Structure 1
Amino acid sequence: MVDQWKAPSAAEPAVGDDKSWKLLEKTLLAGVQEQRRARRWGIFFKVLTFCYLITVLVLFTPLLDMERTAVSGSGYTALIDVRGVIADKEEASADNLVTSLQAAFEDPKVKGVVLRINSPGGSPVQSGYVYDEIRRLRGLHPDTKVYAVISDLGASGAYYIASAADEIYADKASLVGSIGVTAAGFGFVGAMDKLGIQRRAYTSGEHKAFLDPFEPEKPDETKFWQGVLNVTHEQFIASVKQGRGDRLKDKEHPELFSGLVWTGQQALPLGLIDGLGNASSVARDVIGAKELVDFTVQESTFDRFSKKLGASVAQQLAMWMGFQGPTLR
C-alpha cells in the first residue's frame, strides 16, 4: 500500500527550515558583530588622531613661543605685517594691527617698529583707527620710532597707515600712493526693462532706497553721495599732510591727491617716501637692531597646522576640539 503524502501543518516546520533559520541567525549576528568591530576601530582611530594632534601642539607650541625670547638678550626690531585688504575681520583689521602695535611698544627690548606693508588699501575707518593709534603710541613712547616699509604695494588705506610712521621706505619698483576714495556699483535698470522685470521696493523715508541699483539714478542723491566721498577724501588728505608734513611736495605736484600711484623711485622726490629699502635693511641700517621679531597677530598654531590637513577636515576638527581664533606671537 502506497503511503499518502501529508503537508506539514503551520505548527510543524518543513524539512530544512530549522537549519535555514539558524543559518540566517548566524549571518545576522555576524553582521552585527562586524558593525561593532568597525565602530570600535573607528573610535580607536579618532582617539589616536586626537592624541596625535594634542602631542603636536604640546611639542611645537613651546618652540614657537621661544622665537621671541631667543633674541631677548639684546634689543631687536619689532616687525608687523600689514598684508591684504584692510577691513574688519580680515588679517589686516584694525583690531589685529592695534593689538600688535601695543604689544610692540610695551616690549622694553624693542628698539624700533617696522610696518611691512603689502596692501591695496581698504576701509577708511579701519585705516583711520590704525593711523590714530600709531600717533598716540608715538606720543607715549617718543624714543620708539615707527618705520613703514612698502614691499609690492602700499596704496590708498595702506598709505594712509604708512603716513603715520616716522619715516616711509619702499623698493624702487614698489607702487605707492593712490590717495583717493572710490565707491563703485552697478545699474540694472536697462536690463530689467528688456526682461520685463518690475522692481517693487517699499520704504519709509524719501531716501531709504538710496543708490538702489534697480532704480534710475537720482541727481540729488548722486550729488549727495559725491559729497560724502569728497569729505572722506579731504579727511584722507589732511591725515597724510599731518603725517608727512613739509616732506610732501604737494604744492609743486597737486596730482599727489588725485588717486594716481607711483613707483618707489618716482615717489622719493615727491616726498611720498623717505628712502629706498626693505624691512631687513631698515632694521639693520636705520634702527640699528638687525634682529627682526614678528609681532603680527597670527592664526593659532592649530589653525596653521589644520590648514595642511585640508580645509573641510580642518574646520570640523577645529569646531570639535574648540581651538579657534588668533593668538599673538
Structure 2
Amino acid sequence: MRRLLPPRLRGDAPVVPVVRLSGVIGAVTPLRPGMSLAGVARILDRAFGMRGAKAVAIIINSPGGSPVQSHQIHQRIRQLASEKKLPVFMFVEDVAASGGYMIACAGDEIFCDPSSIVGSIGVVGGSFGFQGLIEKIGIERRLYTSGKNKAMLDPFLPENPDDVARLKSLQYEIHTMFIDLVKRCRGAKLRGDEDELFSGAYWTGQRSIDLGLSDAIGDLRSVLRARFGDKVKMPVVAQPRGLLSGLLGRRGAGMTLAGLGDAASTAPEELMSALEARAIWARFGF
C-alpha cells in the first residue's frame, strides 16, 4: 500500500517544497494582477503545510513595488516558518530589489546567481507635471476639495514645495522601517558602510555577498541536493489554474467570467499598468 503513495508521502526522501514569487509587487489591474499577500497566501500555506517538509525554498524574481504588500508577504513567510519550525531558503533569479529584496530577507539564507541584481534598499515615488500642457491646449483645471491637503501632488497643478516636503517625510518613515527590517534579518552578516548599503543602490549577486546582503552563489537544485542529498524531492507549489486562466494564459490569470465584459473598458488602464511595470523592471536593466 505504501508503494502506491506519491514519493513525497512515503518518507523515502526528504521533501523541500518550492514556491515561485515573481513580478511587480502590488500593481494590480483586472488583466495584470501583481504580487500581493492575498495572491500568494494560499500557496505559502500549502508549502509550509506539506507533510514531511524539511525546509521551504522560495524563488524570488521581483524589482519591487508596494512596500505594504512586500512587508506583509515577508511577515507571512516568517510567521509560517516559525509556526512550522522550518528553515527558509531564498533563491534570487534576475532581481530581488527594493520590495523584492524585502521579501528575500524573509529567508534564513539568501542564494543568488553571480549576475543577479540585489539590493535597492530605498523608497522611490514619481509623477508628471501637466499644468503647462493643459494651459497650452486651452484646458482649465477645476478641482474642488474639502481638506487643505486633499489635492496634494495633483499633476495638473504647479508643484507645491510643502507637498514635496510631506512626501519626503513619508518616504523617510518607510525607508527607516525598511532599513530596520534588513538590519534585523541580516544582523551581523551586513558589511560595509551603512550610507552605501541603504542608499538605494543595487549590486550584482557576487557584490551583494561581499556586502552581506546575500549569503552565497547557488541555484536551487544544487543547493538543496548538497543540503538534503541527491534524492531530495522538490515539488513546486503553484496556484491552481482554472479552465479560463488556462485558455487565456498568464495574462488572463485571475480574470473571472464576470470581468470579461469589462475587458475593453480596462484597456487604457491595462496599458498604463504594463508601462508602469515595464518602467520598474527597466530600472534594473531588464
Q: TM-score, normalized by length of structure 2? A: 0.79
Question: How far off is 1:294 after superposition?
Answer: 1.1
| C-alpha distance in structure 2 between counterparts of 1:316 and 1:107, whole Å | 32
Give CA deviations for 1:152-205 in whole Å, capped at 9, x if unaligned.
111111100111110000000111111111111100112223223221111111
C-alpha separation between the residues in 2 aligned to 1:108 and 1:88? 33
Query: Paired residues, what number?
Result: 247
Q: Deviations over 1:281-306 (max 9, x none)?
A: 22211344632111132433x13542
Aligned to 2:42: 99
Q: Does 1:136 align with 2:56?
A: no
Indicate which of 10, 16, 24 corresponds to 1:77.
Answer: 16
Letter in 1 for 2:114: K
1:102 touches 1:137 (CA, 8 Å); kept in 2? yes
Higher helix share: 1
Match of 2:140 among 198, 203, 206: 198
**Which is bigger in relative contact order (C-alpha 8 A, separation at least 6)?**
2
Aligned partner of 1:249 in structure 2 is 191
Task: Identify unmatched segments of 5+ residues in structure 2.
Answer: 261-286
Structure 1 residues 238 and 218: CA distance shift in structure 2, 3 A: same
Could you tell me which of 167, 170, 173 is aligned with 1:231? 173
RMSD between aligned residues: 2.6
Shift of 1:307: 2.6
TM-score (norm. length: structure 1): 0.69
Deviation at 1:317, TM superposition (A): 11
Cross-structure match for 1:169: 111
Alignment of structure 1 residues 15-164 onto 2, 5 Å? 69-74=6-11, 75-87=14-26, 90=33, 92-142=35-85, 144-164=86-106
Residue 181 of structure 1: aligned partner: 123
Q: Deviations over 1:84-135 (max 9, x none)?
A: 1111653532123222222222223211111101111111111111111122
- Report which of the two structures shows the higher radius of gyration computed on alpha carbons: 1
- Unpaired runs of 5+ residues, structure 1, are 1-67, 320-329
Distance 1:102 1:206 in 2: 44
- Larger deviation, residues 117-126 vs 282-291: 282-291
**Residue number among 192, 209, 216 corresponding to 1:268 in the alignment:** 209
CA, structure 1 residues 88+111, in 2 after alignment: closer, same or farther (shift >3 Å)?
A: farther
Q: Distance in 1 between matches of 2:232 and 2:142?
A: 63
Structure 2: distance between partners of 1:253 and 1:205: 39
Counterpart for residue 284 of structure 1 = 225
Check whether the contact 2:19–2:238 (CA below 8 A) recurs between aligned residues: yes
